[in-house]
Structure 1
Amino acid sequence: MSAVEQAFSRSYAQARQQFLEATATAGMALQSQPHPLTGVEGEALAMDVARDGAMDADKLLILSSACHGIEGYCGSGVQMYALRDAEWLDKARSAGVAVLYVHALNPHGFSYGRRVTQENVDLNRNFVDFSQPLPANAAYDQLHDVIIPAQWPPGPEAEQAMQAFIAANGMKAWQAAVAQGQYRHPQGVFFGGQAPTWSNQILRQVLRQHGSQARQIAWIDVHTGLGPNGYGERIFTGPPGDAAMLARARRWWDGAGATPVTSIDDGSSSSPPLSGLLWNSVAQECPQAAFTGMALEYGVLPVHATLDALRADHWLHQHPEAPEAQQAAIHQQMREAFYDESAAWKGQIISQARQALFQTVDGLGSDAS
């Protein structure tokens, strides 16, 4: 088995064991934040954090996985390869860049093969100010019973309503209505929550501890589920309208146009505009640092197939009495929507992530002044 394939795991439990062993071998300081619940195999769950570099380093790179649970198969693989990559480790250390590997932001979803947390919350919609009125999503409110119908597969009425919406508004509008984030339907898809999740609270603790002395913070958060198979879209993560931050991200990561950095704000990304995103936590917990972030988003299946997998998963969550064969089929549908187990796909993931990591160190160095 190649080094690339060895980096990927068959389960959360295996991925975590690999991470703990690799960080120990590399001599990195490790902290484990225990999750209050256990995993699908009865295993312990945790957000594991390994740091390579001094606590007072001016430059910090965060590499995180499993914001969306099941997407951790990919993100953990990226982290594992990096932890065993002597050239990469030397590159970061020689440049004085501390690297924070945050393994499994959402360990519960990773273990159970779901995208959401144990609260049924999409973690990347959970970073809103809950003391203020929550973002509205009128289109989702209209479509909730169509998105998650009473039966699965959907009956003709639900399918007709979905197709009518798409015919009237287009596929992008359907994707936006479903994925933007909603805060009124706790059992629905892309639910942003009504309070900070466990993962939200623990991540903020990690950022305060590890980011408070940094003058520059870069963050690569690894995702799957959007775009062409195997292609890693570099999606800018930062405040809408921050032209200087977007320009910096493009200067670091666009590879002279070969690897363009897209933005959900100007319509160049495969992702629609979203609410409650993860990057808000850095601005709030590490306000002293200049921040540059991206979501490295790898494609697996076409977007309609991915959304159908998510709809099925949420339907199943509400119907635990479903026949075992149907349960197994939906779990497999989810896995295939967010993780391609082919060697070719894994090779594409690692090569693009490795390029982005090296570019990040160079970017931090060029902007050190």
Structure 2
Amino acid sequence: MDASRFFAQSYAEARRKFLAAAERAGLEVHSRMHPLRGRDGEALALDVARFGPHDAPALLIVSSGCHGVEGFCGSGVQGALLADPAFHAAARTAGVAVLYLHALNPWGFSWWRRTTHENVDLNRNFHDFHRPLPRNEAYDRLAHLIVPPTWPPAPEVQAELMAYAGQHGERALQAAVTGGQYDHPQGLFYGGRAPTWSHVTLRHVLQEQAQPCTRLGWIDLHTGLGPNGVGERIFACRDDPAALARARAWWGDGVTSIYDGSSTSALLTGLMWLAAYDECPQAEYTGIALEYGTVPVAEVIDALRADQWLENHPEVEDDALRAAIKRRVRDAFYTDTDDWKRRVIEQGLEAAHQAVTGLSGR
């Protein structure tokens, strides 16, 4: 398989490929247009394509681009699924509809940012904002080090972060930085103080597309954690033993969980997938985040630190520095090699076929 043909070098190209693949598969696309334009002046949208009848008892969601720049990977997997008649035939036979959500955060995809245009991490943004938000006291303590006043960071900044890791452990540092925070709007992994455009739009799509089903599966495609090219299957439900057992029955005993510490991911707050319980209470929900490794997590976090520093300093006139930071971000979430793309597609197709089998009840 020439996996590279499913991938793109820009959001605009990825969107064109998705729309063309959906058309070839005979699927109608409904586009939710974003209020802003992309990096190259292009229109931005959450594009929704459905295979199967609206009243199907079982529905599989396959989504990309929750974290913007991670959409290069997810869009490629979606393109491969759309081009695989055996996958759609299996879904039809099993009575499973498939809902493709392309670019949940199209602005971040286009601008090579992990965040939405509100500088919000979409997968930390799903809260009841009428209630008190979680506190991340460890992030509060480290905020001035995580996004420092200058880039590259001064040696003493790095030394303080390493001292924290030495005292509390690397996992504790990862949790402090990535778990989610709600008090530093110019910081990393900021969950926001209100629902983002992507948050609201996704809820509307779930209300329209997923309320008739009684069994709901979800594969949300991500990158940036774990060994290069390895797709970790991370449990993406509430902390529910029955749902975890179901996920492992579908996708294998290797499914990890943020709740028991088996995942490379830290315990997170404001998870996007929990919207399935709010908008589709009639359905038995089972989901995973399929998280593909790229570069070591320390390199990923440093790339995000640099990118946030750049976002906080629009006055920077060094074009070479800007270009280097943006390229580093993209490379942290997208390994642009044929081998990585092949492995991504193989694992994505396998996970999707397994989900169809699980949803069929066989």
Question: TM-score, with normalisation over the residues of structure 2?
Answer: 0.99
Shift of 1:245: 0.4
Equivalence for 2:47:
48
> Alignment partner of 2:66: what SS?
coil
Shift of 1:319: 1.1
Aligned amino acid, residue 361 of structure 2 = S
Structure 1 residues 334-358: Cα deviation after superposition (integer angstroms, max 9, x where no partner): 0110000110100110011111011
Contact 1:69/1:114 (CA < 8 Å) preserved in 2?
yes
Are 1:224 and 2:223 counterparts? Answer: yes
Question: TM-score, with normalisation over the residues of structure 1?
Answer: 0.97
Equivalence for 2:119:
120
Per mean C-alpha deviation after superposition, the further-off stretch among 183-192 and 151-160 is: 151-160
Aligned amino acid, residue 216 of structure 2 = I
Equivalence for 1:253:
251
Q: Matched residues in 2 for 1:210 and 1:35: separation?
A: 19
Equivalence for 1:319:
313
Matches within 5 A, 1:227-306: 227-240=226-239, 242-254=240-252, 257=253, 260-306=254-300
Q: Matched residues in 1 for 2:37 and 2:331: separation?
A: 24
Q: What runs of 5+ residues in structure 1 fail to find an aligned partner?
A: none
Matches within 5 A, 1:159-174: 159-174=158-173
Matches within 5 A, 1:179-194: 179-194=178-193
Matches within 5 A, 1:1-369: 3-240=2-239, 242-254=240-252, 257=253, 260-322=254-316, 323-366=318-361
Q: What runs of 5+ residues in structure 2 fail to find an aligned partner?
A: none
Aligned amino acid, residue 253 of structure 1 = W
Q: Matched residues in 2 for 1:248 and 1:167: separation?
A: 38
Aligned amino acid, residue 233 of structure 2 = R
The root-mean-square deviation of aligned C-alpha atoms, in Å, is: 0.8
Contact 2:224/2:295 (CA < 8 Å) preserved in 1?
yes
Per mean C-alpha deviation after superposition, the further-off stretch among 357-366 and 214-223 is: 357-366
Contact 2:51/2:97 (CA < 8 Å) preserved in 1?
yes
Aligned amino acid, residue 299 of structure 1 = G
Q: Matched residues in 1 for 2:360 and 2:50: separation?
A: 19
Shift of 1:63: 0.1
Q: Matched residues in 2 for 1:364 and 1:24: separation?
A: 25
Structure 1 residues 35-76: Cα deviation after superposition (integer angstroms, max 9, x where no partner): 000000000000000000000000000000000000000000
Q: Matched residues in 1 for 2:263 and 2:158: separation?
A: 27
Contact 1:3/1:81 (CA < 8 Å) preserved in 2?
no
Q: Matched residues in 1 for 2:215 and 2:306: separation?
A: 41
User: Percent identity of the aligned residues?
Assistant: 55
Shift of 1:321: 2.3
> Alignment partner of 1:48: what SS?
strand
Contact 1:310/1:334 (CA < 8 Å) preserved in 2?
yes
Structure 1 residues 198-222: Cα deviation after superposition (integer angstroms, max 9, x where no partner): 0000000000000110000000000
Misfit runs of 4+, over 2 Å: none
Q: Matched residues in 1 for 2:314 and 2:190: separation?
A: 20
> Alignment partner of 2:172: what SS?
helix
Structure 1 residues 143-175: Cα deviation after superposition (integer angstroms, max 9, x where no partner): 000000000000022112111101111111110
Q: Matched residues in 2 for 1:10 and 1:92: separation?
A: 30
Q: Matched residues in 2 for 1:272 and 1:18: separation?
A: 33
Contact 1:305/1:337 (CA < 8 Å) preserved in 2?
yes
Shift of 1:142: 0.4
Shift of 1:93: 1.5
Aligned amino acid, residue 159 of structure 2 = Q
Contact 2:2/2:342 (CA < 8 Å) preserved in 1?
no
Matched positions, count: 361
Contact 1:64/1:75 (CA < 8 Å) preserved in 2?
yes
Aligned amino acid, residue 105 of structure 1 = L
Aligned amino acid, residue 164 of structure 2 = F
Structure 1 residues 249-295: Cα deviation after superposition (integer angstroms, max 9, x where no partner): 000001xx4xx100000010000100000111110011000000000
Q: Matched residues in 2 for 1:284 and 1:303: separation?
A: 32
Aligned amino acid, residue 295 of structure 1 = A
Shift of 1:232: 0.2
